[in-house]
Amino acid sequence: MATTREVFQGQKTLTDWDLDVWSERFEKGPLLGKVSKVSDENVMPFWHRKSLSRMTPKEWESLCDGCGRCCLIKLEDEDTGEIHLTNLACGLLDTKTCRCKDYENRHDKMPDCLAITTKTVKTLSWLPKSCGYRRISEGRDLAWWHPLVSGSYDTVEQAGISVRGWVKSEARVKELSYHRYIIDGFDD
């Protein structure tokens, strides 16, 4: 079986135009449809050619597959420091489209929303193993279902990675009840 890196040798990659379209769709709603590819068959994908710190803002943002897993509420055990994942989503996450309702102002509206940067990606132990940022920072490739690999935004949900449709907004639950929504095995 060929590795993703071997499969990509001789494959096409996304253009700046494609990344603009990705960014625009990511900010405005569901990512549906196909991603077009460039005609030069010998171009390696940018995530193979660049370190995270060398990526443009558009390239960096496109590593996010839009799964919504990082938007799930996490509870920390005060005694052990262990992080417990819930099936409650940030109040800004649109649970039907799996997109932030106000991406540009999310840090102002949700002070506990953490920015994933080249520095924090290595320290956020709760980032899912499937996260594009985490995978690249650990020297792994993007998964087959990632839109930059598959060419389709639908594969994130088809692979069972997206939280779309099965999470509940934290806005509908009292904080004292959050512990009732703890889930196990989601990142296995």
Residue 97 located in a structural domain: yes
The structure tokens listed for 154 are 């639908």
Sheet order of strands, 72-76 included: 72-76, 83-89, 168-169
Residue 168 located in a structural domain: yes
pTM of the model: 0.75
Q: What tens digit of pLDDT does each residue of 118-175 get?
A: 999 999 988 999 999 999 999 999 999 999 999 988 899 999 999 998 999 999 999 9
Residue 127 located in a structural domain: yes
Residue 49 located in a structural domain: yes
Residues with Cβ within 8 Å of residue 188, at least 6 apart in sequence: none
Whether 73 contacts 170, CB under 8 Å: yes
Q: Which of 4-13, 43-52, 113-122, 154-163 has the lowest mean pLDDT?
A: 4-13
Residue 124 located in a structural domain: yes
Whether 72 contacts 85, CB under 8 Å: yes
Residue 158 located in a structural domain: yes
Residue 41 has pLDDT above 60, yes or no: no
Number of domains in the chain: 1
Residue 187 located in a structural domain: no
Q: What tens digit of pLDDT does each residue of 51-63 get?
A: 999 999 999 999 9
> Closest Cα partner for 41 from 15, 17, 7, 13?
13
Q: What is the mean pLDDT of residues 74-86?
A: 92
Structural domain of 16: 4-181
Residue 25 located in a structural domain: yes
